Amino acid sequence: MSIEMKTDYGQIEITNEVIATIAGGAAVDCYGIVGMASRNQLKDGISEILRKENFKKGVLVRQEDDELHIDMYIIVSYGTKISEVAHNVQNKVRYTLNRTLGLNVDSVNIYVQGVRVTNP
């Protein structure tokens, strides 16, 4: 699926994969995030941290009526406050998608798939 927008310059079509990649990139820039996890852990491997080109495996973009919902599967760093990290990721993803694509996101749902110790 994709989102279609009409502007003064013509029609723009944005695929869900593009939205997922941008959202994943915004999430891993946040403090306390080790990486993105796959949403299909049994199929893709439980301990896999996704690389940049596979962020779309850890982000699910849903469109219901005129609303845009994003589900993100993340791995957080040990010793961080998970609720704060999740809140920061929600805000950063909303802001980034609004600034880069002009999209208003109705909800960003965070699913913490694991906690990892990072090297100092």
- Per-residue model confidence as pLDDT tens digits over 20-43: 999 999 998 999 998 888 876 655
**Model confidence band, residue 51 (pLDDT cutoffs 50, 70, 90):** low
pLDDT at 100: 92
2-116 fold: Alpha-Beta Plaits (3.30.70)
Residue 83 CA from chain centroid, whole number: 16
pLDDT at 96: 95
Distance CA 106, CA 94 (A): 9
Tell me the β-bridge partners of 3.
14
Enumerate the domain spans of the chain.
2-116
- Per-residue model confidence as pLDDT tens digits over 65-119: 888 999 999 989 999 999 999 999 999 999 999 999 988 999 999 999 888 887 6
